[in-house]
A and B are shown apart, each in its own frame.
Chain A
Amino acid sequence: MAPKITFVDPDGTARNVEVPAGRSVMQGAVAGGVDGIVGECGGNAMCATCHVYVAEEWRDRLAEPAMVEQEMLEFTACERTEASRLSCQITVTEEFDGLVVELPESQL
């Protein structure tokens, strides 16, 4: 059973998507038809269109963002907060079952 990830729209609507371990959260969202994630550059941390806000209880459990991601987070269309991550840079593992991320109003 692949880990389930919950994507929460700005209006509070939640959707669960199974994302196989080894994929990025962005890849899982695109494959699962989550509209709030664009992933224009294909997962290269080049476009900042896969911005998510990671739920507080999960933040410390994710690996620290690399420098490239840190810098590209300056490009997000919506406000960058402490919860901000580029979902293409979060690789799903079995431990991420139940991960909750909120989507910004806009990616562009």
Chain B
Amino acid sequence: MAGTVIVGAGHAGAQTAFSLRAEGYRGPITLLSAEERSPYQRPPLSKGYLAALRRRETDADDLINLHPVASYAEQDIALRLGSPVSEIDRHARRVHTTTGKAYGYDHLVLATGARARTLPFTTPRSERVRFFRTRHDAAAIAALTADASRVAVVGGGFVGLEAASVLAAAGAEVTVIEAAARPMGRGMSPVMAEYLLARHRARGVEVRAATRISAIVEDGGRLTIATGQDTTGPVDLVIVGVGVLPNDELAQKSGLETQDGIVVDSSLRTTRDPRVYAVGDCARFPSPFASAASVRLESVQNATEQGRHIAKSIATGTVSAYERLPWFWTEQCGLRVQMAGLVEPADECVVSGDPGQGAFSVLAFRDGRLAAVESLGRPRDHALARRLLADPAGWPEHGVLHGAGYDLSALRTAVISPATNTVDG
């Protein structure tokens, strides 16, 4: 038995390996990582880890380990660091690494993740122009901002605004530049995004939307950003967070179907080879929670739940559809927004609660049913939404919520079963 080979040791890959053992899989497991360091968590990089590094906390690095370093050997998982895969030979069922090694497989799991998208022009070869994806990026940014008083963040997505928030809190003068009309336009409702942006501005962050940059120019260690007619800067540091691209070239080269990601069916198997799976940021899969035929999600929850799903498939030989509700969170300006489901631009959004009090939820309706909920300072709404939205066939009707004054708690008895979880109050 050749066993299972997993390409990529981020959240999805590592989870697959450990879940295979948890599900009783006895075959060899090889986990190949292009990085040199033991697998680590990504969400803290732009949040707590960045802040901890800036405070020079010496144990910041230990805190982001995904699993204790010793646990791979304990679980008989062959973790191979510094092993980028160069080729998949699907005919021979073998992967080759750039280091000249080859690994045979019965099952191949592609968990290759995503990489930072670059800008459509040449950026200065300066260490002061940083992309934000790995712990190296976080460490470099923390070191550089120790004496950087002016920072420009290119890209107003979650990562960019989380970084802006941490740096502004540390006293830097921050300008965020976003090409789209509205920052966080992808994946967040306009009302929630506007609320957060107002908070950023109140803390002194300058947010420039609908602003395309055409060049970044370095002069004597300082950087100037050309934006159409005018410029931003000079600044000491430019952080670029303009989204990610899936690492799907390896799959494409081996003849697997790709389209902004590795295309898989509802059971997360690649469409052209049932022995090959894709999970996490690199996988494009059909989701009952989205209107589109398929989605690609960039979140820890998606990565780990998909890893568990295929581990079970492989270990037990059963095939089933992956249908887990997507959820996310972001931390900005000392606030946390919790999101359940996927908000889409065409959704009808209704505010529940009082934004003036810093406690409200945005209820997103699609085709007359509740499809997604964003909550700020209302963790109970998030908890309820996670249950209310778990099964798309049972999404609450708009009329029911309207009748309840858009109070999710009114639907509470319908979703909390005393048999499974006893709740006080």
Is B421 touching A46 in the complex (CB atoms < 8 A)? Answer: no
**Which of A30, A41, A80 contacts B423 (CB under 8 A)?**
A80
A81 touching B327 in the complex, CB below 8 Å, given contacts A31-B65, A42-B41, A71-B379:
no
Is B300 touching A32 in the complex (CB atoms < 8 A)? Answer: no
Find the A residue at minimum CB distance from B338: A46
| Chain A CB within 8 A of B382 CB | yes
Q: How far is the CB of B93 from chain A (nearest CB, A)?
A: 31
B residues 334-351 touching A (CB-CB < 8 Å): 336, 338
**Which of B59, B67, B304, B421 contacts A30 (CB under 8 A)?**
B67
Q: A23-B63, A33-B74 are in contact. List 18 more A-B contacts (CB 8 A).
A: A20-B59, A30-B68, A33-B68, A33-B70, A40-B304, A41-B300, A42-B300, A44-B336, A67-B380, A68-B336, A74-B416, A74-B423, A75-B383, A75-B386, A79-B421, A80-B421, A81-B422, A108-B308
Contact mask A53-94 → B, CB, 8 Å, 1/0?
A: 000000000000001101110111001110000000000000
| Chain A CB within 8 A of B288 CB | no
Residue total for B at the interface (Cβ-Cβ under 8 A): 31
| Chain B CB within 8 A of A99 CB | no
Is A71 touching B68 in the complex (CB atoms < 8 A)? Answer: no
Task: Write out the residue numbers on chain B whose beta carbons fall within 8 Å of the beta carbon of A45.
Answer: 379
A residues near B (Cβ < 8 Å) are 20, 23, 27, 30-33, 40-42, 44-47, 67-68, 70-72, 74-76, 79-81, 108
Task: Write out the residue numbers on chain B whose beta carbons fall within 8 Å of the beta carbon of A40.
Answer: 300-301, 304
**Which of A30, A33, A68, A81 contacts B379 (CB under 8 A)?**
A68
B residues near A (Cβ < 8 Å) are 41, 43-44, 59, 62-65, 67-68, 70-71, 74, 300-301, 304, 308, 327, 329, 336, 338, 379-380, 382-383, 386, 416, 420-423
Is A71 touching B382 in the complex (CB atoms < 8 A)? Answer: yes
Q: How far is the CB of A45 from chain B (nearest CB, A)?
A: 8
Task: Write out the residue numbers on chain B whose beta carbons fall within 8 Å of the beta carbon of A23.
Answer: 63
A33 touching B300 in the complex, CB below 8 Å, given contacts A42-B44, A74-B416:
no
Find the B residue at minimum CB distance from A32: B68
Task: Write out the residue numbers on chain A whose beta carbons fall within 8 Å of the beta carbon of B383.
Answer: 71-72, 74-75
Is B68 touching A72 in the complex (CB atoms < 8 A)? Answer: no
A31 touching B301 in the complex, CB below 8 Å, given contacts A71-B379, A71-B382, A74-B383:
no
